[in-house]
Amino acid sequence: MHTWVQTLLKPEPVALMVVLILLVSLFSGMRRGASGSAKHLFFFIWQAATVVVSLLLAGRGAVYASPFVRDWLIDRGITVPKEDLSALKQFWFTAVTSLRDFDLLRFGVLFLLLYSVLRLLLHALEPFVFGLVDGVLARGRAGRGRMAESPLISGTASRTTGAMIGALLGGGRAFIVMACLFVYVSILPHAYGTDIIRASALYTKTASELLNPVAGDVLKQGPVFTEAVEAEFRHVLERKYDVIDAAIPPNIEEAAAAVTKNSSTDEQKARALYSWVGTRIAYDWDKADNYTEHGIWKEQTPTETFTTRKGVCIDVARLYAVMARSAGLEVRVVTGEGATGDGGYGPHAWNEVKLTDAGGEWIPLDATWASSGDWFNPDGFSKSHIRDA
């Protein structure tokens, strides 16, 4: 206890915050008295319990329901119409096909839905539960009133008991705050303020002695989980492009047919389209510089890229995907990082094509880089292109 008090009294941000929480709770408890503080303590415990129960049940329920939802969506045979879609339809098909194909997204949506329903049901029980608590506290106050010898003594005892309960309530609130800081630091170790939090002796002691033994093994996967969430989000963005670009304009369809007319295999078609896109679409340095220097991004469609004959990597990849689909190929836009030539990597996009007539192998290609060499399924492609996990 002595070492805990010492760490609590050190003048640093985390300790000062905890001391403030304890003092406010203590004085609030003194002001409310014994019965009022007891009611607030019960409310705090009830809220914490409902959150924990809802989280556990929602997690189990999402794990159980996820494969059934996936299979149900697959059985519906949902396909994106090859026509110009309204914004609402684009959102609908992006959401439905993403829920069908992306496990982490589907789990997250089911988890949030089940958690909300469980919290709503438990919230509906609160009037009944709190009514019982009020009845118990009222009987307790009546009994103490009959036994009290002096209103002054009774009031002092009530305020003292209230202060003790308030301090206990403050300890619970402070622990929750410390747990939130622990989760924040574990999942986002390089985020804003984490250095200040880790420098706190009180945080270090709480994390090492109370939180790490319970949650440390789980939260060691925090950065991995964060990266997985970011990758899943990018996959949803890729799916958005698939939906938006499902309709193939006649002029692009005609160009793809002309480019692949002498190709008999999937690889020959993919190679012919790679050569055509790679030699006819110039890199739009003005668009790239406008984004990197001013944060201004111009979204453009494959039709615009085809017409203007210029674009950045995502524009080239989207145009290639549309032309490849028009030629009967199964293709996807891939996002990740590409080598910059100075030993580093930067955001990049390219394509993968499925060779259905050659065993279903997916091969990578980068039409944006076609002017700098042969980037049609070369050896070592993965060394210069790191796709999102």
Query: How confident is the model over 20-68, as pLDDT tens digits?
Result: 888 888 888 788 777 777 777 777 777 778 888 888 898 889 889 999 9
Task: Find, among 372, 359, 370, the residue nearest to 272 by Cα.
Answer: 370
| CB distance 35 to 137 below 8 Å | yes
Task: Fill in the amino acid letter for 43.
Answer: F
Rounded to whole angstroms, the Cα distance separating 216 from 286 reads 47
Distance CA 230, CA 225 (A): 9
Candidate from 140-144, 198-202, 249-253, 304-308 with smallest mean pLDDT = 140-144
Residues 153, 256 within the same domain: no
Distance in angstroms (rounded) separating the CA atoms of residues 9 and 201: 10
Residue 152 pLDDT = 46
Closest to 387 in 3D by CA, of 368, 365, 356: 365
Same domain, 95 and 151: yes
Q: Pick from 168, 194, 225: which residue ends a domain? A: 225
Q: Name the nearest CA neighbour of 267 among 364, 378, 355, 377.
A: 355
Checking if the pLDDT of 84 tops 80, the result is no
Instruction: Report yes or no: 163 and 26 within 8 Å, Cβ to Cβ.
Output: yes
Report how many domains make up the chain: 2
Site of tokens 């030699």: 279
CA atoms of 243 and 83, how far apart (whole Å): 10
- Do residues 263 and 172 both lie within one domain? no
In sequence order, what are the residues at sequence separation of 6 or more whose Cβ sits closer than 8 angstroms to the Cβ of residue 111? 58, 59, 61, 62
Count of CB atoms situated within 10 Å of the CB of 263? 15
CB 319 within 8 A of CB 306: yes
- Do residues 221 and 282 share a domain? no
**Which residues have CB under 8 Å from 266's CB, separation 6+?**
329, 353, 354, 355, 356, 357, 358
Q: Is residue 46 part of a domain?
A: yes
Answer yes or no: do 212 and 277 share one domain. no
pLDDT at 148 over 50: no
In terms of domains, do 212 and 303 share one? no
Sort residue 84 into left (φ over 0), alpha (ψ -120 to 50) or beta: beta
Q: Which long-range contacts (CB under 8 A, 24 or more apart) does 50-53 make?
A: 50/119, 50/122, 50/123, 51/119, 53/118, 53/122
What pLDDT shows up at residue 268? 95
> Residue 219's closest CA among 228, 230, 229, 211?
211
Q: For residues 320 and 306, give the distance between their C-alpha atoms in angstroms, rounded to a whole number.
A: 10
Residue 190 lies in a domain: yes
In a domain, 233, yes or no: no
Q: How far is CA 61 from the centre of its chain?
A: 19
* Residue 366 belongs to domain spanning: 248-387
Per-residue confidence (pLDDT) for residue 343, from 0 to 100:
81
Mean pLDDT of 161-166: 79
Residue 232 lies in a domain: no
- Residue 377's region, left for phi above 0, alpha for psi from -120 to 50, else beta, is left
d(CA 296, CA 288): 9
Q: Which residue has 């406008």 as its token pair?
A: 290
The continuous run of DSSP H or E covering 331 comes out as: strand 330-339
Residue position matching structure tokens 């190929």: 329
Q: Let me know if residue 298 belongs to a domain.
A: yes
Asked if residue 238 is part of any domain, the answer here is no
Residue 85 and residue 119 in one domain: yes
Q: Is residue 237 part of a domain?
A: no
Instruction: Read off φ and ψ for residue 90, nearest 5 degrees.
Output: -60, -45
CA distances for 273 relative to 95, 178, 223, 341, angstroms: 30, 56, 39, 26
* 205 and 113 co-located in one domain: yes
CATH number of the domain enclosing 269: 3.10.620.30
Residues 267-285 have a mean pLDDT of 95
The answer to the question of residue 242 being in a domain is no
Query: Do residues 315 and 305 touch, judged by C-beta distance below 8 A?
Result: yes
Are residues 94 and 50 located together in one domain of the fold?
yes
Angle between helices 13-75 and 103-124 (to 10 degrees): 110
Residues 316 and 270 occupy one common structural domain: yes
Bigger pLDDT: 68 vs 299: 68
Residue 59 sits in the same domain as residue 194: yes
Within its chain, how far is the Cα of 237 from the centroid?
A: 13
Residue 65 has what pLDDT?
92
Express each pLDDT in 354-383 by its tens digit.
999 888 899 999 999 998 899 999 998 989
The pair of structure tokens assigned to 72 is 């149900």
The confidence score (pLDDT) of residue 52 equals 80
pLDDT (mean) for 187-215: 76
Q: Pick from 173, 190, 225: which residue ends a domain?
A: 225
* AA identity, residue 120: L
Shared-domain flag, residues 288 and 163: no
